[in-house]
Structure 1
Amino acid sequence: MAGTSLSLEHITRKSTLAKNAPLLIMLHGYGSDENDLFSFASELPEELFIISVKAPYPLPPFGNAWYAINFDAEKGKWSDNIQAKQSRDLIAAFIDEAIEAYPVDKNNVTLLGFSQGSILSYAVALTYPEKVKNIVALSGYINKDILPEDVETRDYGHLNFYCSHGSADQVIPVSWARLTPPFLDSLKIKYQYSEFPVGHGVAPQNFYEFREWLENHI
């Protein structure tokens, strides 16, 4: 089912629950679209109300992006951080809209992001922790340039993260992802971190692991 009345285009899968369903919002990667992650929605717990969102910036010839990337630049200049912050705030506002529009539980919101969508999932959770409960961050990393300055003094005690990465990732180096556990430790955030012997993608065993994690946390 497609939805366009909210600020971001999206497609949905209804929950088996008529009200107060746990909400899962999917955020795709650079150059993809809302159909990408949604392809495995049918394999996820049926009580989840699932929304897969389309990023706001068209990327010719087809696909979309949450923000511009300069693939030739060093890490510090890799991302358009102004656009990234705008998309972070767009997603945060979209969460509020979705809670108003659909029969979901505002206290049980999970973000599931891949790559660029994963980077923004981290940023939304660490900037607007009151809006989310769980994060599934696949093949991403924490971009500290799009986090609030007071991140070290905030209370993130209720958050839970599942983080995974391919050890042979040729797009986002696994060394960037390996900075995530110590950073989450420093913020006293609960998390699980896994690596799989794949490139920039989600291996079947990775899918089964995060699905089980989701079942235990929604």
Structure 2
Amino acid sequence: MESSLYYELRKPNKIDPHKKYPAIFLLHGMGSNEQNMFPLVHGLEEQMYIFSIRGPISQGPGFTFFTIEGYGKPHRDIFKQSLNQLTHFIEYATEQYPIDSEQVFLLGFSQGSILSMSLALTLGKKIKGIVALSGYLPKLVIEDYEIQPVDHLSVFISHGEMDGVLPYQWGVEAQEYFKKLEAKVSFYSYPEGHTISLKNHQDLLKWIQDQLLQ
């Protein structure tokens, strides 16, 4: 089995051949790339496998995972294709590397956050936890996809109160939806725009560390 997506990997320097490791999959925002995500999880590479995935579509100086047809409306077919590619990539990674299938996490910013939340809903128990930074849940996911049980899922959602790209209210609505499905949700808001503040970064790192201890 091969992957159709380009990715970069960080992993512990010393691998115990008798051990399986937690994994986290990083998904960047529109026009960005896989390199931009590694600083968010710096320091975790000795505890887990870190896969940073590049979007398959060229966008300006960077890449994107899907295109949009309107404000908050991804192109349905391209979005579906991206979700399928990412689903297959997660399957590929867990087959090719010593990954603990019960310790799989997703972390995304903006477009990557949208995909992380969508994958959590479609993959169900294959995902233990997600970190969704400044994103939203597309209506097409709720309307078109078979939503899996997520009462086991741990969710970190954060959003800037002054976000001028994706409205703060969209983050509020996403956390309300996950709570309605009985996921374990932690919601954080910051007096920021469409960015990740130092406090946001500190909070997400602590949250991931806490999840790894459970």
User: What is the TM-score when the length of structure 1 is the normalising length?
Assistant: 0.89
Provide Cα deviations, 1:20-55, integer angstroms capped at 9, x if missing partner: 110010000011010011133323363011010001
Q: How does 1:1-218 map to 2 (within 5 A)?
A: 6-15=3-12, 17-18=15-16, 19-44=19-44, 46-60=46-60, 62-70=61-69, 73-75=70-72, 78-147=73-142, 148-151=144-147, 154-218=148-212
Asked if the contact 1:125–1:135 (Cα under 8 Å) also holds between the matched residues in 2, the reply is yes
- What amino acid does structure 2 have at the position aligned with 1:113? G
Displacement after TM superposition at 1:169 (Å):
0.8
Please give the root-mean-square deviation of Cα atoms over the aligned residues, in Å.
1.6
TM-score between the two structures when normalised by the length of structure 2: 0.90
Q: Distance in 2 between matches of 1:24 and 1:143?
A: 23
Structure 1 Cα separation of the partners of residues 3 and 81 of structure 2: 16
Question: Is 1:67–1:80's contact at 8 Å kept on the other side of the alignment?
Answer: yes
Q: Is the 8 A contact 1:162 1:193 kept in 2?
A: yes
Displacement after TM superposition at 1:149 (Å): 4.5
Residues 149/11 of structure 1: CA separation in 2 closer, same or farther (3 Å cut): closer
Deviation at 1:157, TM superposition (A): 1.9
Give 1:8 shift.
0.9
Q: Aligned equivalents of 1:53 and 1:83: distance in 2?
A: 17
User: Alpha-carbon deviation of 1:214?
Assistant: 0.4
Tell me the percent identity: 34
Whole-Å Cα distance in 2 between the matches of residues 58 and 74 of structure 1?
Answer: 20
* In 1: Cα distance, 2:145 partner to 2:3 partner: 30
Q: When the two structures are aligned, how many residues end up with a matched partner?
A: 207
